[in-house]
C-alpha cells in the first residue's frame, strides 16, 4: 500500500507531467538516496576503522617493553682542595659565660590594657623586666627579633 504523500505525488504528476519528466525525477531521487546510503556506510566504516586503530595502537603500546633510559653517564670527577679549620675560627659558648647582652636596637612590646595604648621599650628595659630569669634577645634582621628564656622553669 502506498503512503499518502506518494499517492498525492502520483496524482499530481500523472496529469501534468510527461513520462520522461517522471522517469528523470525518479532517477534523481534514487541517485540521491543511494548517495546518502553510501555516505552513511562510508562514515560507519571510517568510525569502526578509527576505533579499531585506536584499540590496536593502545594494545601495541601496552605490550611494548618499557624503554630503558640511556646508560647513565658518570659525572665528571671534581677535585676539592680544603684546609683544616684553625682553632681561632671555631666559636664555642659555655653556660654563664655571658653576663649581659647589650644592643642598640629597639623592640616594640604590646601590652593588653583597657586604653589600647602601648609603651615602647628598648632591649635593656625588656631584659630588665626579666632580671630574675636567664634570657637572650636574638635579632634575626632589622625588623625581627626573638626573646629566648634559657631556663623557663627556674
The answer as to whether 86 is a domain residue is no
Domain count, the chain: 2
* pLDDT (0 to 100) of residue 40: 96
In a domain? residue 54: yes
pLDDT reported for residue 119: 72
Pairing state between β 144-149 and 121-122: unpaired
- Residues 59 and 102 reside in one and the same domain: no
Would 110 be classed as within a structural domain? yes
Q: Which helix (H) or strand (E) holds 146?
A: strand 144-149
CA quadruple 99, 105, 110, 115: dihedral sign: positive
In a domain, 81, yes or no: no
Q: pTM of this prediction?
A: 0.32
- Flag whether 105 is in a domain: yes
pLDDT at residue 101 in the model:
60
Q: Which domain holds residue 115?
A: 98-149
> 29 in a domain, yes or no?
yes
Distances (CA, A) of 18 to 12, 15, 25: 11, 8, 11
Q: Which residues of the chain have pLDDT under 50?
A: 1
Give dist(CA 145, CA 54) in Å, integer: 64
pLDDT of residue 145: 82
Check residue 36 and give its pLDDT. 96
Residues 132 and 146 sit within 8 Å (Cβ to Cβ)? no
Q: Is residue 88 in a domain?
A: no
Out of 40, 63, 86, a domain closes at 63
Amino acid at each position: 500500500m502506498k503512503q499518502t504523500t506518494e499517492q498525492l505525488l502520483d496524482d499530481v504528476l500523472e496529469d501534468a507531467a510527461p513520462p520522461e519528466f517522471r522517469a528523470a525525477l525518479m532517477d534523481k531521487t534514487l541517485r540521491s538516496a543511494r548517495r546518502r546510503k553510501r555516505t552513511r556506510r562510508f562514515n560507519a566504516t571510517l568510525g569502526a576503522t578509527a576505533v579499531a586503530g585506536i584499540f590496536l595502537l593502545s594494545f601495541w603500546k601496552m605490550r611494548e617493553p618499557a624503554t630503558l633510559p640511556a646508560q647513565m653517564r658518570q659525572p665528571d670527577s671534581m677535585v676539592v682542595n680544603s684546609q683544616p679549620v684553625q682553632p681561632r675560627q671555631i666559636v664555642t659558648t659555655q653556660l654563664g659565660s655571658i653576663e649581659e647582652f647589650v644592643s642598640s636596637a629597639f623592640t616594640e612590646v604590646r601590652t593588653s590594657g583597657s586604653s589600647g595604648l602601648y609603651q615602647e621599650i628598648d632591649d635593656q628595659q625588656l631584659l630588665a623586666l626579666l632580671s630574675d630569669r636567664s634570657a637572650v634577645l636574638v635579632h634575626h634582621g632589622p625588623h625581627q627579633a626573638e626573646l629566648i628564656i634559657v631556663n623557663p622553669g627556674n
